[in-house]
Amino acid sequence: MKKNGWILMLFIVLGLLAGALVARWLPKMPGLTFLTQTESINLSPAADLHVFRFDLTIGLELSLLSIIGAVLAVWLYRRM
């Protein structure tokens, strides 16, 4: 398999999604709440040039399990 940046990005996104899904399934377990707590990161660039105006909002909610999923995805990518 040819390694390139797009495949790595796909692996990382899939790892983040897998970690987020596991974090959603685990909140019922009281001893594992530190793994499922999320932190929000928001980026909102905007510009008003009187002729052209744009607003873009990008939000990311990360948990420890999401980060672990991304790290595992990078590890799997490197093993291929």
pLDDT for 4 equals: 86
The H-assigned helical ranges of the chain are 5-25, 33-36, 64-79
Instruction: Return all residues near 76 (Cβ < 8 A) that are at least 6 apart.
Output: 11
Model pLDDT for residues 3-33, shown as the tens digit of each residue? 788 999 999 999 999 999 988 888 777 787 8
Q: Is 8 exposed, middle or buried (0-12, 13-18, 19+ CB in 10 A)?
A: middle
Q: For the beta carbon of residue 73, count every other beta carbon within 10 angstroms.
A: 21
Q: Domain spans of the chain?
A: 5-79
Model pLDDT for residues 45-65, shown as the tens digit of each residue? 999 998 999 999 999 899 999
pLDDT for 1 equals: 58
Higher pLDDT pick, 72 / 36: 72
Question: Phi and psi for 51 in degrees, rounded to 5?
Answer: -115, -35
pTM: 0.76
